[in-house]
Structure 1
Amino acid sequence: MLYNWLETQRALIRWMDTWAASLARACGLPAQSPESLAMPGCEWLRRVFKTTLEPPPFAIASVTLGGRRVHVDETVVDRVAFCALRRFARRGEHRARLDGGAPILLCTPLAGHHAVMLRETVETLLEDGDVYVTDWANARDVPLAEGRFGLDDYVLTVERFMRRLCGNGLHVLAVCQGTVPAIAAAALIAARGEPAPLSVTLMGGPIDTRLNPTAVDRLAATHSIDWFRRTVIDTVPAWYRGGGRRIYPGYLQHAAIVAAHPHRQMALETRYWTSRLAGDDARIAASRRAFDEYAAVLDMTEDYFLDTLRIVFKEQRLARGAWDVDGRRVRGSALAASALCTIEGDRDDITGAGQTHAAHAVCSAVPDRRRKQLTIADCDHYDLFTGPRWREAIHPALAAFWRETHEPHEPHEPQPAAIS
């Protein structure tokens, strides 16, 4: 199988790197790293053949608050087989909530990238409060004895984490494919009469893929589930903890991501080589981290991948009000007490225009005064959570929305907003 072949090539390259370094030392020459030998434009290819058992760490040691550097403590506060709930907490007096705010649960997508790709998002959100992150496991590292993991299991995991956190107030921020299960989990909690999130914010998510379908949506719609099973599903090699598990492998996702977004890959390459030519060690380290975060992909289970294709992209069950999770119907109308914000980029080629804003129709019981709908100008999918559009336009608007959820409102009609 291709997975086995690729892992064999990676092992060979690692052996060659080790042999070359040993030979250089024996000859009295400095042993250069693969990074120092890479040619411009080939950094992504080196990473395809680089095997790391773990993604790069978040490593957020501190953040600047009020002109001061404040230490950040990172801990895992809950864990299931396929996900760890990470907490990033400001140390000392900054552990207390700021401006009456609440902690934030960042529901990361299980769509190829490790959660660490949202490191910049977490770092920015720490300005507002403590941040909890769903850090999904690489399926190749989860033993078969832990059982299956499908889309419903994602929802139940997020529901578990929300129930743990909502009692003292919680803002939920869900990104990309994390938006659909986040809405489902919050709605199921509200339907039980338990404390629901103070607010739910959805960014660039496929709530209703019938609206302005993208190439991703069309691919899902025009190919059968069996076609995807035959074409992209592989088996984890025996030497991993999850050996024998059927998965949608990370190497295919990485190749697809690079092919679909060459401009982003080129931007990362340019940033890296500019810093190399400038001899700026700090910028070299930062650009290399950005490369590693973007290239940190994971294997998804066959069940989760095919469930998502069927339930989200083919049948739009959430938007149609026809989704049952663990025997319970997901009713967006149950979310009457949570504020709702949806955010789209006007150049998003992964999630079509209106697909995320469709959540306002799904969550029909949210009062008009507690809704916000933002379309960000000159913004693609990745700009929603990283880079200047995130830092300068989206985060300030989001922080204002969170403050408003704690303040009294006068009734008014919701107005879609465009931010430039």
Structure 2
Amino acid sequence: MWYALIDAQRRLTRAMAERLPEECACPPAAQAPWAVPGEAASAFRHWLLRSTCAFEQAPPFAIDVVTSEDTSDGCRIPIDESVVDTLPVGTLRKFTRKFTHNRIAPEPAGKWPVMLCSPLAGHHAVMMRETVETLLENRDVYITDWADARDVPLEAGPLPLDDYVLALQRFMLMVRAHGMPVHVMAVCQGTVPALAAAALLASSQDAPFASVALLGGPIDTRLHPTLIDRFACSHTLDWFRTNAIDAVPARYRGAGRRVYPGFVQQAAINAAHPERHLCLEGRYWASWLAGDMSGALQALRSLNEYAAVLDMAECYFLDIIRVVFHEHLLPRKTWSVAGQRVMTEALRDTPLCTIEGDNDDIAGQGQTHCAHELCNTSQALAGGKITVSHCNHYDLFTGERWRDAVHPGLCGFWREIENAASATPRRRRDTRSANRRQA
């Protein structure tokens, strides 16, 4: 089995890396870092680990402080990270802005938190660290941190796509139970289960969220299919089962579970988008060779997050291929989750915003914007269809386009909803006062 062989290689790599020095102090300004033995060994150590997917576990989010947008002086706000809920499929984390070191202050009036539904597409949620960090500049953030299938015991079941939709339903209800409306935001592959979970909740009760925002998601892959869409459509489930699935080796908690291994996903991503990996590597080595250790460490963090891949359960992986790429169950409105029909029109009264990148080669043009038609969203409630120029798939949640275009667009969408909600009570009070005067 390939998995067992590659896992042995990983363990050998980790053993070699452990014999190399950890991070050393920055070299003197007059001395190039490559001339310092400790720095060279440390750089090689990190390259060795990420190039072979040999990390024992994903890097932590480790967001300690952000610059607040709620104060005129741009003060630094400490961040508290906590676990809200844990299921076999994953964990719901919360990042809370603290306004003193001694207590956690409530979120400023009118600023509702965001629940970020991260994609389960072969990477750990920490790949979206920059997304979380940016959102924390003006509101609290929840994020779904999906489990690596290799670490989920077989007793937890086969982990189908339905389990992830039901988990999102539970997480959305739990966040709303904390006392404030929440904005649901889903990225890439996470948009499909997130939209389904939101529709199911809206069908059965009042929606426990204030709005839904979908970024670069394959809602309907029949529209302007990309290379990935065409590849998935041109191969049968049996082909994927035979060529892409392997069994977890004995040393893990999920031993014996059949999975789509993370190292296969990393190879596929690097083959499809070599420019992103080369750009990250280039930025790291250029900073390192120039003696810019601060820049090198920042680039190293991004590289390690990008290299933090995970295994997806066979059942979930094949369900995604079938539901999203082969049968298009969501846009055809024929998808049922745990016996419940996913009725997207139940979201007609929910503010909806969709964002696409004009250079996205993963989610094709119109594949996300079509959610407005599926949900039959009222124009008065729609946040619009935002298409960001000079923006590829990853730019939607990281880098300059995320910070300069996507995030401001989301903030404007959320602000409009929050302002409308705060104005409604005032209008009611004004009406009551006018009625009393007339009386």
Q: TM-score, normalised by structure 1?
A: 0.90
Matched, 1:92 2:102: no
Aligned counterpart for 1:324 among listed residues 336, 347, 353: 336
Write the letter of the residue equivalent to 1:160: R
Give, in angstroms, the shift of residue 170 of structure 1.
0.7
Which residue among 246, 250, 275 is the counterpart of 1:234?
246
Give the alignment's TM-score, normalised by structure 2: 0.87
Shift of the 20–124 alpha-carbon distance from structure 1 to 2, 3 Å rule, reads: closer
Letter paired with 1:149:
L
The 3 A distance-change label for structure 1 pair 342 and 17 is: closer
The answer as to whether partners of 1:334 and 1:365 remain within 8 angstroms in 2 is no
Report the alpha carbon displacement of residue 57 of structure 1 after superposing the two structures with TM: 0.4
2:418 aligns to what SS in structure 1?
Answer: coil
Q: Give the deviation of 1:99 after TM superposition.
A: 5.2
Task: Give the equivalent residue in structure 1 for 2:87.
Answer: 80
Secondary structure in 2 matching 1:406: helix
> Partners in 2 of 1:232 and 1:314 — Cα distance?
17
Determine the structure 2 residue equivalent to 1:149.
159
SS at match of 1:405: helix
Q: Distance in 1 between matches of 2:14 and 2:55?
A: 11
1:59-208 to structure 2, matched below 5 A, reads 59-65=62-68, 66=71, 67-92=74-99, 95-98=105-108, 100-167=110-177, 168-208=180-220
Change (3 A) 1:359 1:12: same
Match of 2:6 in 1: 6
CA spacing shift, 1:338–1:140, aligned 2, 3 Å? same
**Does the alignment pair 1:51 with 2:54?**
yes
Give 3-state SS (helix, strand or coil) of 1:169's partner: coil
Task: Provide the rounded CA distance (Å) in 2 between the counterparts of 1:16 and 1:195.
Answer: 52
Kindly tell me: are residues 182 and 366 of structure 1, through their superposed partners in 2, closer, same or farther at Cα, counting changes over 3 Å? farther
The residue type equivalent to 1:14 in the other structure is R
- Pairs within 5 Å for 1:325-364: 325-364=337-376
* Segment drifting more, 206-215 vs 398-407: 398-407
Superposed CA deviations along residues 68-125 of structure 1, whole A, max 9, x for unmatched, are 1110000001110121000000013774333512110000000011000000000010
| SS at 2:289 equivalent | helix
- Return the alpha-carbon distance in structure 2 between the equivalents of residues 330 and 141 of structure 1: 30
Q: Deviations over 1:334-374 (max 9, x none)?
A: 11331000000000000000000010111114444433110
AA at the equivalent of 1:3: Y
Give the whole-Å Cα distance in 2 for the aligned partners of 1:356 and 1:36: 40
Cα distance, 1:193 vs structure 2: 1.6
Tell me, yes or no, if the aligned pair for 2:216 and 2:368 is still in contact at 8 Å. yes
- After superposition, residues 405-420 of structure 1 pair within 5 angstroms as 405-408=417-420
Measure how far apart 1:254 and its partner are: 0.5
% identity of equivalent residues? 53
The answer for the alignment partner of 1:402 in structure 2 is: 414
Q: Is the 8 A contact 2:53 2:309 kept in 1?
A: no
8 Å CA contact 1:370–1:405 kept in 2: the answer is no
State the AA in 2 paired with 1:77.
V
CA shift in 2, pair 1:12/1:146, >3 Å: same
Is the 8 Å Cα contact of residues 196 and 338 (structure 1) preserved in structure 2? Answer: no
Give, in angstroms, the shift of residue 196 of structure 1. Answer: 3.1
Name the stretch that deviates more: 8-17 or 221-230: 8-17
The alpha-carbon distance between structure 1 residues 95 and 186, as it changes in their structure 2 partners (threshold 3 A), is: farther
Letter aligned with residue 134 of structure 2: T
In the alignment, structure 1 segments of 5+ residues that lack a partner are 22-28, 410-420
Distance 1:330 1:159 in 2: 12
CA contact (8 A) 2:20 2:41 kept: no
Tell me by how many angstroms 1:285 deviates: 1.1
* Uncovered stretches (5+) of structure 2, i.e. residues with no partner: 22-35, 422-439
Change (3 A) 1:209 1:64: same
The corresponding residue for 1:311 is 323
Inter-partner Cα distance in structure 1 for 2:41 and 2:206: 53
CA contact (8 A) 2:78 2:97 kept: yes
Match of 2:77, SS state, is strand
* Cα RMSD after superposing both structures: 2.0
Give me the whole-angstrom Cα distance separating, in 2, the residues matched to 1:85 and 1:53: 21
Aligned counterparts of 2:290 and 2:412: Cα–Cα separation in 1: 39
The one of 396, 399, 415 aligned to 1:387: 399
User: How big is the shift at 1:37?
Assistant: 3.6
Following the alignment from structure 2 to structure 1, what is the Cα–Cα distance between the partners of residues 18 and 4?
21
Tell me, in whole angstroms, the C-alpha distance in 1 between the residues paired with 2:348 and 2:319. Answer: 28
**Alpha carbons 1:48, 1:251 under 8 Å: kept:** no
Matched, 1:220 2:232: yes
- Larger gyration radius, structure 1 or structure 2: 2
Which string of whole-angstrom CA distances, capped at 9 and with x for unpartnered residues, describes residues 197-245 of structure 1?
2110000000000000001100111110000000000000011111000
AA of the residue aligned to 2:52: F
Q: Which amino acid aligns with 2:206?
A: E
Alignment partners' CA distance in 2, 1:290 and 1:19: 24
| Higher mean C-alpha deviation, range 168-177 or range 50-59 | 50-59
Q: How far does residue 274 in structure 1 lie from its aligned partner after superposition? A: 1.3
Distance 1:227 1:364 in 2: 37
Alpha-carbon distance in 1 for matches of 2:419, 2:382: 10
Tell me which amino acid in the other structure corresponds to 2:78: H
The answer (yes or no) to whether the contact 1:196–1:337 under 8 Å persists in 2 is no
